[in-house]
Amino acid sequence: DADVTQTPRNRITKTGKRIMLECSQTKGHDRMYWYRQDPGLGLQLIYYSFDVKDINKGEISDGYSVSRQAQAKFSLSLESAIPNQTALYFCATSDPGKETQYFGPGTRLLVL
């Protein structure tokens, strides 16, 4: 089984809809991250969490919110989806003191 899983893997939604992307991990890592990737723009950090009670904004948090339900679960919400949020979204985890990040398989989101 994969160490970092994301659901759904693909999602099509309409402008104005609220959607949630979920991330779960079995690696036992405290730190979790949400990134979006657009063609030619690399990975941009949306939010990150260093433990259940610690949530921080990344470079592009506007229009997004997150919830850290447990050490193993970190969810990303789009409160009112818009077309320019169409992108590939990745969840990642890391261990304190070790900088290596491990990525989930990604969620491909299309907002019409």
Partner 1 sequence: QKEVEQNSGPLSVPEGAIASLNCTYSDRVSQSFFWYRQYSGKSPELIMSIYSNGDKEDGRFTAQLNKASQYVSLLIRDSQPSDSATYLCAVLPGGSNYKLTFGKGTLLTVNP
The contact set with partner 1 (CB under 8 A) reads 31, 40-43, 45, 48, 50, 58, 88, 90, 94, 96, 99-106, 108
Q: Shortest CA distance to 76 belongs to which of 87, 91, 56, 93?
A: 91
**Nearest-approach distance from CB 46 to partner 1, in angstroms:** 12
In whole angstroms, give the CA distance from residue 58 to residue 32: 12
Name 62's Cβ contacts closer than 8 Å, sequence gap at least 6. Answer: none
Between 50 and 52, whose beta carbon lies closer to partner 1?
Answer: 50
Between 18 and 101, whose beta carbon lies closer to partner 1?
Answer: 101
**Nearest-approach distance from CB 28 to partner 1, in angstroms:** 16
Between 15 and 33, whose beta carbon lies closer to partner 1?
Answer: 33
**Nearest-approach distance from CB 103 to partner 1, in angstroms:** 4
